[in-house]
Amino acid sequence: MKEFFAFIKKEFLHIFRDKRTILIVMIMPVVQIILFGFAVSTEVNNVRVAIVGDTTDPEVRKIMDRIDNNKYLTVTEILSNTSDISRKFQRNEADVAVCFSRNFDSELHSGSKASIRIIGDGSDPNTAQMITSYVSGSIQDEQDDITVEYMGEEQNSMSPVVQLMYNPAMKSSYNFVPGVMGLILMLICSMMTAISIVKEKETGTMELLLVSPVRPLWIIVSKAMPYLVLSVVNFISILLLSHYVMEVPVNGSIFLLSAVALLFIITSLAIGLLISGISSNQRTALLISGMGLTMPTMIFSGIIFPCESMPEILQWVSHIIPAKWFIIMVKKIMIQGDGFTYIIKELSILAGMAAALLAISIRSFKTRLQ
Per-residue pLDDT reduced to its tens digit, 147-183: 555 555 444 433 344 445 577 666 777 777 888 888 8
- Residue 124 has what pLDDT? 63
- The pLDDT of residue 299 is 82
**What was the pLDDT predicted at 196?**
76
Residue 74 forms beta bridges with which residues?
48
Judge whether 101 and 89 are in contact, CB under 8 Å: no
Nearest CA to 115 out of 48, 50, 53 is that of 53
Q: In sequence order, what are the residues at sequence separation of 6 or more whose Cβ sits closer than 8 angstroms to the Cβ of residue 339?
A: 252, 253, 256
What distance lies between CA 22 and its chain's CA centroid? Answer: 24
pLDDT at 102: 81
Given this model, what pLDDT does residue 356 score? 93
* pLDDT computed for residue 163 by the predictor: 47
Please give the pLDDT value at position 352: 95
Rg from Cα positions in the chain: 28
Q: In this structure, how many other beta carbons lie within 10 angstroms of the beta carbon of residue 338? A: 17
Which residue ranges of the chain lie beneath pLDDT 50?
A: 153-163, 367-370
Query: Quick one: pLDDT at residue 211?
Result: 64
Confidence (pLDDT) at 368: 47
Residue 9: phi and psi, rounded to 5, are -60, -40
* pLDDT recorded at residue 156: 40
pLDDT score of 125: 63
pTM: 0.72
Q: Please, where are the H alpha helices in the chain?
A: 2-17, 19-22, 28-34, 58-69, 83-90, 104-110, 125-151, 173-203, 206-210, 216-244, 254-278, 282-289, 295-300, 312-318, 322-330, 344-369
Q: Are 193 and 272 in contact (CB under 8 A)?
A: yes
Domains of the chain listed by start with CATH number: 10-40+171-369 (no CATH), 47-156 (3.40.1710.10)
